[in-house]
Structure 1
Amino acid sequence: MTSPPPSAYTASTLAVDHQRRRRRTRLLLGGVAAVVVACLALWAWSGTGGSHDDDRPPAAAPQAPDAVSRTVETPPRSVEGRAAVRYREEIRQVGATADAPGAWATDKTFAKGFVNTIRGFTLTKENATDAKGDRPAWTLTFPGPLCATTRHVSAAGWTAVAYAGEHVDPGESLGAPCDRLAVVDLDTGRKRWEARLGTADAPAGNVNVTMTDGAVVVAGDQGSAAYDTTHGKRLWTRSDRGTCTDTGFAGGSALLALARCGDSAAPRFHVERVDARTGRTTWTYRVGEGIKTVYLASADPAVIAVAAGDVEVSHLIPLDEHGRARGTIRLADTHTPTGCDRPFSAVVESCRSVVVGARALYVPVDDDIVAFDLATGKSGRRFASSTGAMTPLKMSGDRLIAYREGSGFTPSAVVSLDPATGKERPLLLFGANPDDLSGTDDPTRDDVLYEHGRLFFGATSVYGPTDKGHRGELSNVAVGVESVAR
């Protein structure tokens, strides 16, 4: 028996059972003061926390409002964690699945997508958790379901989403026209602008959205287009490209395009550096024959992830400033990056467990994190986990931020790792109630963010009850943790 594809509300008991088997119950928020204090004492005694002055990063240069935010994290005054956000929803239909695309954070707000809404939660002391979950400060409702999001946020707190411009019945979201684009101010919950997609419109599941400095870029079945981030003016379109079609983009401080060319049965892939303001290609890298799937792991420095088989990533290829391969990183089975493939999604910059720095990239290996040199492809420093699995999250200046799962009486943690010395410094410690993270705690599927000293877990799908007896139960959509001393 084959289960139906996921949608805004698709009855899929098999999907529910599969997801719940994957859930790993962990420690989060309540009853951990003694554990945290003990761990703090241990770090202080062992010296692994290092000097506070040495670990404090330099101040980041001011960014333009429409530039993609690149935060440099400051160590908190206390690493003891407390609840910052809890967002829950009730799905009454037995066996139903609700899509929850997108999770974003600024220094003031956490926002989460759910079906055809985005809800924003103010990050203040007054926004305390209760049994029903936090109350959103604002809710933005769209006519139809969200069909494409980007993880990027501008320095002013704006992000981009694509959505259906008309209402669709539950269970039909994959066939809905993904024909609208908007830039949303995450701190206010207001649309800055919206546009009808022309050459880039396509059914939901076939649209890719990203942001780069000053531009929002969309790819769909019939072509691609870019819009000015601040005002929504269309900058360029690309639709007639011969035998090649843009399948998606990766953004950030630069813009990469992934193009599929030639016969659909045996396609060839091109990776292009694109000028975000003009749409002109500045260089092209032609991926070798026989590659089945390509993902854009990073736009700057440029790194692509390729699958020599089907969708399982087998190699990472860093590219230089002229689009030439710097080397090839062959991945063993234990090195396989997670999250690259999202079924029924056109997202190509989804290799969340690959974090790329100026000189090295970092991937999870078993429970640890291993660095690979971008210039040589050789493996370098290995950051060993003392407890559960570690997941690289982002670069913060020249340091790596990682999430480490707790184990037994050891709390979960966010840590700062120094690639030069191997030194580790804790940023947040938290633990304790098995239900606090349930449904959001799988880094291979769910969104994990660390922004402005706070850690957020966001589900990408939320599931209804397995039977009528469980109706009325609330499911986690997102959970956030922050320092007790902000």
Structure 2
Amino acid sequence: MPPPPHPTAPNGGGRKSNTTLAVLVASAVVIALIVGGVWYSQSGDEGGKDDTASSSGGTGGGDDDGTGGGGSVPAGSEKVPADASSQVLFQVPSPKVEDDTTVVVSGSWLTDKAYVKSGVAEIVGYDRDKGTELWKIPLPGPVCQASKHATEDHLTAIAFEPAMPTKAKPSNGCTQIAALDLDAGKKLWTKTAEVGGQPIRFDNITVSGGTVAAGGSSGGAAFDLESGKPLWIPKANEDCRDAGYAGGEKLVAVRRCGSYDSPQLHIQTIDPKSGKVNSEYKLAEGVEYASVLSTEPLVVAAEVGESQDAIGITDVFSIDNATGKLRIRISVPGDQFEARCSGVTRIESCTGIVVGNDRLYVETQEHDGGGEYGRTNEIVAFDLATGKQTGQRADAGDRYTITPLRMDGGNIIAYKRPPYDKGGQIVSIDGGTFKETKLLENPSVKTVRDVETRMSPQYSELLYSQGHLYMSSVYASELGNTADKRYLVIAFGTNG
């Protein structure tokens, strides 16, 4: 990755900047909570100096009833089946690739009718229950990035290579952007963008407000989702560049300024049609990469300083995206929590941590549980207004480990990774009471377990909806060519 240019101008990427510089005043208060025999500590921001930020910030009030800022949590849409026991609906074998090559197959979505998954240089729609192929979109090269967001009418976007990789040329550059209609099973348009006469290689892509936005080390570009009309592209020799974007309810840019040795990241909430900056928060100089956990509310993760245990995240910043002011900073050290982020290139790629009810729900590290060899963990909650732990805790149970996947209204949908003699589970955790309700439990048959346990939530894609669980790989390699059969997808479904 080429070094970022020298910092001076806040403008760039064809977008107007609305930068304000303020001073953050904060101090750290350490609060400890014993969870499952492990101590969890946190830093709360209650006045004083915080050396990790340079924008103004403050704290908000909040209650401790665990209901997400006062009142009851929103109802979820996931139905509780009469029988949570699942069966294998279908499996898709891992595609064969050339020896000594690994091909990205990231990207999966659910519509009312189809489960949609990237294959090797193709996007395929499968019947949700039977796994029969409904449609296929061929591509000239592999998908390298896929938006995790889609519109209500199931439009989304991908970035892909213009040709297949070979041993001599393992990458052709992630230069192509396409919009997909997942209902019709067709590609709407394909676009590229250039800066200084060279095609931009995109590291990430997202969708928000009818806009496709993709970023990389050369800057970011945006297109109208339906028509493909270019909305902005970077300019040559800019001092700041859009490293990437996060989508969903709002569009947020992670803008990189400064020298290679001392960068500064600007977290900007922007207008999805014009790119105009509506609010901005600056992380401290030297924080090299950031991930966006949520755009509404705006919650950002970063690895501050060097940490032996952390993987892309040591701290979480709760930001008011109307004003750009810091609400609170929360410490989630890697020796206590299992949250992971890939903010080096993929702005929205975090596991083990989700946002909802104005709360941060984080997976803890494994620790000793019941039994001679038992290991277990929990999900705990932080208030995004105060930074304090709420006291809510969801236990994985003896020999299981639990990972939050997403929100369902005010409830948390979580996956329980099983011990060697059980199948995995999907549970719904009430956002107020933290009561767990089992939605699905997979078969404990060894042949099924062997496939399921290869699809860990840290390194695979897991989608759950209405009694259906889809687990899929994000890479296809020569291992798929061997007699030890590997799978691209395994789908489970309940009977009730």
- TM-score with structure 1 setting the length: 0.76
- Correspondence for 2:295: 299
CA distance in 2, matches of 1:438, 1:463: 18
Q: Does 1:379 align with 2:379?
A: no
Q: 1:398 aligns with which of 375, 400, 410?
A: 410
Query: What whole-Å deviation, never above 9, does each CA across 1:228-264 have from its counterpart, x for those lacking one?
Result: 2222222333436842110001111011110111101
CA, structure 1 residues 193+368, in 2 after alignment: closer, same or farther (shift >3 Å)? Answer: same
Aligned residues of 2:200 and 2:218 also touching (Cα < 8 A): no
Aligned counterpart, 2:464: 450
Q: In the alignment, what sits opposite 1:172?
A: 169
The secondary structure found in structure 1 opposite 2:279 is strand
Indicate how the Cα distance of structure 1 residues 435 and 334 shifts in structure 2: closer, same or farther if over 3 A, else same.
farther
Structure 1 residues 172, 145: CA separation in 2 closer, same or farther (over 3 Å shift)?
farther
Shift of 1:94: 5.1
The runs of 5 or more residues in structure 2 that have no matched partner are 1-71, 366-376
Matched, 1:190 2:186: yes
Instruction: Give the 3-state SS of the residue equivalent to 1:107 in structure 2.
Output: coil
Look up the match of 2:29.
Answer: none
Instruction: Tell whether 2:309 aligns with 1:326.
Output: no
Superposition pairs of residues 230-245 of structure 1, within 5 angstroms: 230-239=226-235, 242-245=238-241
Q: CA deviation at 1:483?
A: 1.7
Alignment: residue pair count: 404
Judge which range, 374-383 or 192-201, deviates more.
Answer: 192-201
Q: Take 1:177 and 1:327, find their aligned partners in 2: how far apart are those partners?
A: 39
Equivalent-residue separation in structure 2 for 1:89 and 1:409 (angstroms) = 25
- Name whichever structure is richer in helix by fraction: 1
Give the drift of 1:327.
1.1
Q: 1:337 Cα deviation (Å)? A: 4.5
Which residue of 68, 74, 78 corresponds with 1:73?
A: 78
Report if the CA contact (8 A) 2:105-2:473 is conserved: yes
What secondary structure sits across from 1:420 in the alignment?
coil
Equivalent residue number for residue 83 of structure 1: 88
Distance 1:177 1:324 in 2: 37
Helix, strand or coil for the counterpart of 1:327?
Answer: strand
Give the match for residue 28 of structure 1.
Answer: none
In structure 2, the residue matched to 1:415 is 427
- How far the C-alpha of 1:109 sits from its partner, in A, is 1.0
One-letter amino acid matched to 2:495: V
Q: Aligned letter for 1:256? A: V
Q: CA deviation at 1:216?
A: 1.1
Q: Deviation string for 1:343-395 (max 9, x for gaps)? A: xx721111132211131011100321011110011112111111411110111
Find 1:462's aligned residue among 476, 485, 488. Answer: 476
Cα distance in 1 for residues equivalent to 2:155 and 2:75 = 25
Question: Which residue pairs with 1:123 in the alignment?
Answer: 128
Between 1:249-258 and 1:433-442, the stretch displaced more is 433-442
- Out of 156, 160, 176, the position equivalent to 1:159 is 156
**Contact 2:75/2:411, CA 8 A, preserved across alignment:** no
Identity of aligned residues (%): 28
Amino acid at match of 2:188: R
CA gap of 1:95–1:433, structure 2 versus 1, over 3 A, is farther
Residue 169 of structure 1: how far off its partner (Å): 2.9
- Judged with a 3 Å threshold, the aligned counterparts in structure 2 of structure 1 residues 78 and 199 are, in CA distance, closer, same or farther, namely farther
Closer/same/farther in 2, CA of residues 260 and 434 from structure 1, 3 Å limit: farther
Given the superposition, is the C-alpha separation of residues 442 and 294 from structure 1 closer, same or farther in structure 2, using an over 3 Å criterion?
A: same
Q: Residue 212 of structure 1: which of 204, 208, 226 is its match?
A: 208
Provide the secondary structure at the position in 2 that maps to 1:328: strand
Query: Structure 2 CA distance, aligned partners of 1:242 and 1:376?
Result: 38
| Contact 1:95 1:465 survives alignment (8 Å) | no
CA RMSD of aligned residues (A): 2.7
Q: CA deviation at 1:434?
A: 3.3
In structure 2, the CA distance between the partners of 1:419 and 1:135, relative to structure 1 (3 Å rule), is closer
How far apart are residue 152 of structure 1 and its match? 1.2
Amino acid at match of 2:471: F
**Higher strand fraction: Structure 1 or Structure 2?**
2
Equivalence for 2:145: 148
Q: 1:267 to 1:418 in 2, by over 3 A?
A: same
Pairs within 5 Å for 1:40-119: 72-91=77-96, 93=98, 96-119=101-124
Asked if structure 2 preserves the Cα contact closer than 8 Å seen for 1:316 and 1:330, the reply is yes
On the 8 A contact 2:101/2:166 being kept in 1, the answer is: no
CA distance in 1, matches of 2:214, 2:412: 30
